[in-house]
Amino acid sequence: MVSHPEWLTLEVKYTDRMTAFYDAFLEMDVARETEQSAVLAAGDTELRLRSPGPVPRGGLHTHYAMTIPEREYDDWWDRLDERFDLVEETFGDERSLYFYDPEGNCVELGERPHEGHGVTGLFELVLEVEQLDAAVEFYRALGFEMADDGRETGRVRLTTGELDLELWSPRLGIADARGGVHVDFGVAAADPKSVAREVADEALAVTSVDDGVRIRDPDGHYLTLVSPS
């Protein structure tokens, strides 16, 4: 069974500049840093920044969403509205704001009625896929459950209960966002090897790595399954 997100990787030209951006505007602390990469703490999720190099690469023009406490939403809006052309959408009783980082990734901050301070974790990730039906079946075999079947509009939302995964045919979404290409992300799984066997025949590659099992899906995205920490 898959559960919560562990990390999301973005490909960036200059890690020091992007680290400074996320520190300044989203108050993410640097957990570790090298000349070619940086890891930022986004609540319980790592946001990994990686310069172009060997695969797996980070995602390009990725749309992803982070949670912030409901009581802080207006403060975040006021602060970011001074610098960015924000877009707001409401889903039920919850609001989300959207803006872009310097590499063209669409960042969403969604309010949630919980405690804590600042960015508290990743709750949504969008992947661009070529064959929507095949991608849906692939991720359902990994344990993601159907949340919103919008295949007639070119998008499907799947969920683990802790991470929503949106699969999009090439398109523009809210705030003209696009799904990411060659995205590299990690998700916790109770038994990574057993879960990976469910898609071994359809995956482009399944590889054992130090922290779990890395799967390359048919669209070239990398998903690493890791045991819960």
pLDDT tens-digit map of 38-75:
999 999 899 999 999 989 999 999 999 999 999 999 99
pLDDT tens-digit map of 129-172:
999 999 999 999 999 999 999 999 999 999 999 999 999 999 99
Q: What pLDDT, on the 0 to 100 scale, is given for residue 166?
A: 98
* Fold of the 2-226 domain: 2,3-Dihydroxybiphenyl 1,2-Dioxygenase; domain 1 (3.10.180)
Q: What is the pTM of this model?
A: 0.96
Q: What pLDDT, on the 0 to 100 scale, is given for residue 114?
A: 84
Q: How confident is the model at residue 115 (pLDDT cuts 50, 70, 90)?
A: confident
String of DSSP letters for the chain: -EEEEEEEEEE-S-HHHHHHHHHHHH-PEEEEE-SSEEEEEETTEEEEEE-S-SSSPPBBS-EEEEEEEGGGHHHHHHHHHTTS--EEEEETTEEEEEEE-TTS-EEEEEEES--SSS--EEEEEEEE-S-HHHHHHHHHHTT-EEEEEEGGGTEEEEE-SS-EEEEE-S---GGG---BBS-EEEEEESSHHHHHHTTTTTSSEEEEETTEEEEE-TTS-EEEEE---
* Domains of the chain, residue spans: 2-226
Q: What pLDDT, on the 0 to 100 scale, is given for residue 151?
A: 94
Q: How confident is the model at residue 202 (pLDDT cuts 50, 70, 90)?
A: very high
Q: How confident is the model at residue 110 (pLDDT cuts 50, 70, 90)?
A: very high
Q: What pLDDT, on the 0 to 100 scale, is given for residue 51?
A: 96
